[in-house]
Amino acid sequence: MSCAELSAGIGHVWRLASQRVDRLDARFLLQHVSGCTLAELIAHPERELSAEQADRFDGLVSRREAGEPLAYLLGTAFFCGLEFAVSPAVLIPRPETEVLVEQSRRRVQELLQMRCQEQVQSRALACIAPRIVDLGTGSGIVAIMLARLCPTAELTAVDVSVAALYVARANAVRHGVQIRFLEGDWYASLGKERFDLIVSNPPYVADGDLHLQQDGLPFEPRLALSDGVVGGDGLGCIRTLIDGAKNHLFPGGWMFIEHGYDQAVQTRELLHAAGFTDVDSWCDGAAIERVSGGRQPPGNPRNFSKL
């Protein structure tokens, strides 16, 4: 866009940008740069951008035109109705990940009900807080949503990427939740700690999958998308997670993993082979089995000395 075009008022600027990128994307970028609400854009199309704003807007439209995801340009994305900070160090939240949150929330709720009954029966003073760990937390969306939905739970979130943890910490502050963040490769930073629930949205796209070249995925961190095994099936990280679970789950503890559209059968097989019971899969909004999980065989109820 020329300087004259960019100084012709935001209504005109919006129209011109809509010829280069999606109209809605152009609107979000224009609102982001100008600080105007949608009502202001419509009611005052004659309002002008400053030279600096015009320059920034033109740059953002060009990047969008080149395929960069809108979320990275805006620096935020929505998940479960809340706004989260994102950067190119983290995967952009996908709606299908809500299934992972919902299944986890249900199990924690069940666990809490059980614990409360035990508490009443044993006349204990307090119910033991459920311990949850989110492995490969990225922007922290899963851990943060669980912390909000299960306020009595103790949340730990792990990621191997320091840059991702920076984003996740900022999101935890933004949404007012307490989470212990640890840097490490899957279970490596957890020592001998055990949890009631392990939850993960790991990298699972098979290395050669053409999908990695489409829909803005080339701009997302490859580390968060694919296990990097050349010619592999994309299940490398899922295997590691399932293999290690028995050393980090309490008896009766649950594990939920998000996986690819065609990986439910294999993930269930891996869970069965690792001794999980109640193995099942749950569909996303597109009716695709997207999350699988199971439970470690129950043992004696947990007590304080086992902590």
**186 in a known ligand binding site:** yes
Closer CB to ligand GLN, residue 16 or residue 212?
212
**203 in a known ligand binding site:** yes
Structure tokens at 286: 């597109």
User: Please, what is the minimum distance in Å from the beta carbon of residue 283 to ligand GLN?
Assistant: 14
**Dihedral pair phi/psi, residue 115, rounded to 5°:** -65, -40
Interface residue list for ligand GLN (CB under 6 A)? 91, 94, 201, 203-205, 211, 217, 225
Closer CB to ligand GLN, residue 54 or residue 245?
245
SS (H, E, C) 82-133: EEEECCCCCCCCCCCHHHHHHHHHHHHHHHHHHHHHHHHHHCCCCCCCCEEE
**201 in a known ligand binding site:** yes
Q: At what angle do helices 141-149 and 162-174 cross, to 10 degrees?
A: 30
- Tell me if residue 282 falls in helix, strand or coil: strand
**202 in a known ligand binding site:** yes
**75 in a known ligand binding site:** no
Q: Rounded CA gap, 46 and 96, in Å?
A: 40
User: Please, what is the minimum distance in Å from the beta carbon of residue 285 to ligand GLN?
Assistant: 13
**204 in a known ligand binding site:** yes
**Cβ pair 165, 159 in contact under 8 A:** yes
User: Please, what is the minimum distance in Å from the beta carbon of residue 18 to ligand GLN?
Assistant: 26
User: Please, what is the minimum distance in Å from the beta carbon of residue 90 to ligand GLN?
Assistant: 11
Closer CB to ligand GLN, residue 151 or residue 228?
228
CA torsion sign for 214, 220, 225, 230 is positive
User: Please, what is the minimum distance in Å from the beta carbon of residue 157 to ligand GLN?
Assistant: 15
Q: Residues annotated in the binding site for S-adenosyl-L-methionine, as ranges?
A: 136-140, 159, 186, 201
Q: Residues annotated in the binding site, as ranges?
A: 136-140, 159, 186, 201-204
Q: Residues annotated in the binding site for substrate, as ranges?
A: 201-204
